[in-house]
Chains A and B, each alone.
Chain A
């Protein structure tokens, strides 16, 4: 009996120690650092990318997950799709990534990997987002991502000194495409050999076709053109319509009639900062870049010029960029909790201050930051304007990339506008049929 008692006591002691050790181990495991990897291809705004990671880390801490941190990694834009796909295929993809919901959403995207938001997370963001951004990242009623900025798309940047030198009034930037073409002609300067030394308008013709299309469509849509059918499956009859041809012809004339575009300068934003072009279309992020690189540049910002259909188009692409969550991530639930915590005005403003772009939360619009943005006039002009066509359908971004390539061939003198739109139609339809 005595021996049995001793054995029982020893057993209880052993169990207590073992349980204590196990519990301590669990606690240690729970506190082990967790690194959430975030990939973005916004290499032109590294502070913006890291600000998101910083605020996301703070959001984790605010919900008691102070062992969680978010690490931002910047991926080169020109090959980001390949890098993403390779990483996801091998199971080594990031937990959060920057991309188009229409490309990556589970069940809907060409390469389905992004998980739909949890119901409560979606509810929080649906209610918080400013109205004109509320549909971005949403497919069939499911939210897959958070828009990265309240996109106003392109704005007109113009060099005030060039305007004055050319005898133009800098208080009266062009408001119509006809005016813009005329201004571009007047602002252009040439050397003795006829080579353009200063372009009146800086056109995007370098880089990926998608980026080229993105800038061109700001002009293209002004003619009432649309590149694809509503279901996104047909380009013929749309990209080669009369309205579409008019859009291509406009730029073709800028190159060959007004002769206001150089095809040897670097990217338009670089050429603008160098003083080599007088007007460009670019998004709000360029402001921070100019402030850093060329703070003495004397420029202003205006709404984009309107076209024949009277459309002051606000580029609110539903095929825009979002913060997406990888369905392979082992931390989906904590990330969903973090995203709820991240939905606050302070974080939104902090992040967008780095890039000088509009925040996405409606409440943040009534802030000193938004009021301080140098393009308040643009925000006002765009506020009630019509939305431009979008290409959020499956394969839409890939199809319009092809249109961008044919556009460049035309700009470079390799084909006429008619040839460009006809070839684009054939190639786009061929690509769409393979999906």
Chain B
């Protein structure tokens, strides 16, 4: 068949396109896809990394992991973290976003810069700073308020203290996304609502919230996914303690399992990936159901 000039052009553009995305795709394969396949493979073996020994053991790594008390505890801690972190960050970020958009662009941009600063700082730095702020003896919070809360050093307070650090770190990221979404709402809708007598909370519930709901769902999903992987803020503050009170899934994986069983560490990683895929699918279904 003789190719038309149009088809030849399409082919040319297609090849050019492939060439342009090839570097990123190769990077994706090398950094994500290959390690994922490697982890799936390793999860079915007893692996001695340094001796390069692989002994096939089937599902044993998964069975040992799921039945292990340490894994179950780390899942409970992670879920507890999510249960505290996600509502807190959603409420604060939505509130802050609504507050910021009341101001002229230059002022709102200034606020955004302030809130994004923690997001671009290193987790380790944040941990060190908050260790000082929340030190039970010399920390500024207890000194000013007269409180005797143990914060990072109490089994009852450590996880909540880590949540505070997490919210501080992530708030800027969520605010940027939400502010962009709020600013994308046509002002004519608000004008029309004002003419009809709708003000304040009515505008929020009947205009703002429905229109930014997909964005809220997106932010919610991102934060849930991020919470499952919480690591840096815990490692730099409590290290998983005291007494395992903040030992999240990733802390358990890195500190307890990785040094002694690479195969089991791989199994935990795969279980985590599967969980996050399920959450992403749920997010898509939820987004479809609430789209206006």
Say whether A431 contacts B70, CB under 8 Å: yes
- Residues of B51-84 at the interface with A, using a CB-CB cut-off of 8 Å, are 51, 64, 68-70
What are 20 A-B interface contacts by the 8 Å CB criterion? A78-B239, A79-B254, A85-B259, A88-B49, A111-B50, A205-B242, A264-B137, A398-B260, A402-B70, A405-B241, A407-B243, A408-B155, A408-B243, A409-B155, A409-B243, A409-B245, A414-B243, A430-B68, A430-B70, A434-B261
Say whether B259 contacts A206, CB under 8 Å: no
Say whether A89 contacts B242, CB under 8 Å: no
Known A-B contacts A264-B150, A414-B243; the reply to A112 vs B260 at CB < 8 A is no
For B239, list chain A residues within 8 Å (CB): 78, 207-208
Say whether A395 contacts B260, CB under 8 Å: yes
Q: Closest chain A residue to B247 by CB distance?
A: A405
Say whether A413 contacts B155, CB under 8 Å: yes
Residue of B69, B153, B241, B245 ringed by the most chain A CB atoms within 10 A: B241
For A88, list chain B residues within 8 Å (CB): 49-50
For B70, list chain A residues within 8 Å (CB): 402, 427, 430-431
Q: Which residues of A come within 8 Å of B, CB atoms?
A: 78-79, 81-82, 85, 88-89, 110-113, 193, 195, 205-209, 263-266, 276, 395, 398, 402, 405-414, 423, 426-427, 430-431, 433-435
Say whether A434 contacts B69, CB under 8 Å: no
Say whether A111 contacts B259, CB under 8 Å: yes
Q: Closest chain B residue to A265 by CB distance?
A: B137
Known A-B contacts A110-B259, A434-B264; the reply to A412 vs B242 at CB < 8 A is yes
For A414, list chain B residues within 8 Å (CB): 155, 243, 245
> Does B258 have its Cβ within 8 Å of any Cβ on chain A?
yes
Q: Closest chain B residue to A402 by CB distance?
A: B70
Contact of A263 among B48, B150, B244 (CB under 8 A): B150
For A433, list chain B residues within 8 Å (CB): 64
Contact of B48 among A112, A193, A423, A431 (CB under 8 A): A112
Say whether A111 contacts B154, CB under 8 Å: no
For B135, list chain A residues within 8 Å (CB): 266
> Does B206 have its Cβ within 8 Å of any Cβ on chain A?
no
For B136, list chain A residues within 8 Å (CB): 264-265
> Does B235 have its Cβ within 8 Å of any Cβ on chain A?
yes
Report B36 CB to chain A, min CB distance, Å: 18
How many residues does chain B have at the interface if contact means C-beta atoms less than 8 Å apart? Answer: 32
For A263, list chain B residues within 8 Å (CB): 150, 153-154
Tell me the dominant secondary structure on chain B's binding face: loop
CA A116 to CA B254, docked complex, whole Å: 28
Contact of A412 among B48, B243, B256, B260 (CB under 8 A): B243
Say whether B155 contacts A111, CB under 8 Å: no
Q: Closest chain A residue to B153 by CB distance?
A: A264
Q: Closest chain B residue to A80 by CB distance?
A: B259
Per-residue 0/1 for B252-275: is the Cβ within 8 Å of any A Cβ (1 yes, 0 no)? 001110111100100000000000
Q: Closest chain B residue to A394 by CB distance?
A: B260
Q: Closest chain A residue to B152 by CB distance?
A: A206
Contact of A85 among B64, B153, B258 (CB under 8 A): B258
Residue of B150, B153, B154, B254 ringed by the most chain A CB atoms within 10 A: B153
For A405, list chain B residues within 8 Å (CB): 241, 243-244
Known A-B contacts A82-B259, A409-B155; the reply to A266 vs B235 at CB < 8 A is no
Say whether A430 contacts B242, CB under 8 Å: no
For B51, list chain A residues within 8 Å (CB): 112
CA A299 to CA B70, docked complex, whole Å: 41
For A85, list chain B residues within 8 Å (CB): 49-50, 258-259
CA A427 to CA B70, docked complex, whole Å: 7
Known A-B contacts A89-B49, A110-B260, A414-B243; the reply to A82 vs B255 at CB < 8 A is yes
Q: Closest chain A residue to B142 by CB distance?
A: A264
Q: Closest chain B residue to A270 by CB distance?
A: B137
CA A411 to CA B241, docked complex, whole Å: 12
Report A179 CB to chain B, min CB distance, Å: 28
> Does B148 have its Cβ within 8 Å of any Cβ on chain A?
yes
For B241, list chain A residues within 8 Å (CB): 206-209, 405, 408
CA A208 to CA B48, docked complex, whole Å: 24
For A111, list chain B residues within 8 Å (CB): 48-50, 259-260
For B243, list chain A residues within 8 Å (CB): 205, 405-412, 414
Report B55 CB to chain A, min CB distance, Å: 13
For A266, list chain B residues within 8 Å (CB): 135, 137
CA A111 to CA B261, docked complex, whole Å: 9
Say whether B150 contacts A434, CB under 8 Å: no
CA A430 to CA B156, docked complex, whole Å: 26
For A193, list chain B residues within 8 Å (CB): 148
Q: Closest chain B residue to A103 by CB distance?
A: B259
Say whether A112 contacts B50, CB under 8 Å: yes
CA A110 to CA B261, docked complex, whole Å: 9
Q: Closest chain A residue to B71 by CB distance?
A: A430
A112-B50, A408-B243 are known contacts; what are 7 more A-B pairs with Cβ within 8 Å? A82-B258, A111-B49, A206-B242, A264-B136, A264-B148, A409-B244, A431-B70
CA A88 to CA B69, docked complex, whole Å: 30
CA A431 to CA B86, docked complex, whole Å: 32
CA A398 to CA B153, docked complex, whole Å: 23
CA A398 to CA B136, docked complex, whole Å: 30
Report A50 CB to chain B, min CB distance, Å: 24
Report A257 CB to chain B, min CB distance, Å: 20
For A208, list chain B residues within 8 Å (CB): 239, 241, 255
Q: Across chains A and B, which 10 residue pairs bring their CB atoms closest together, nearest first?
A: A408-B243, A409-B243, A264-B136, A412-B155, A81-B259, A264-B150, A113-B50, A405-B244, A89-B49, A414-B155
Known A-B contacts A276-B137, A405-B243, A430-B68; the reply to A79 vs B235 at CB < 8 A is yes
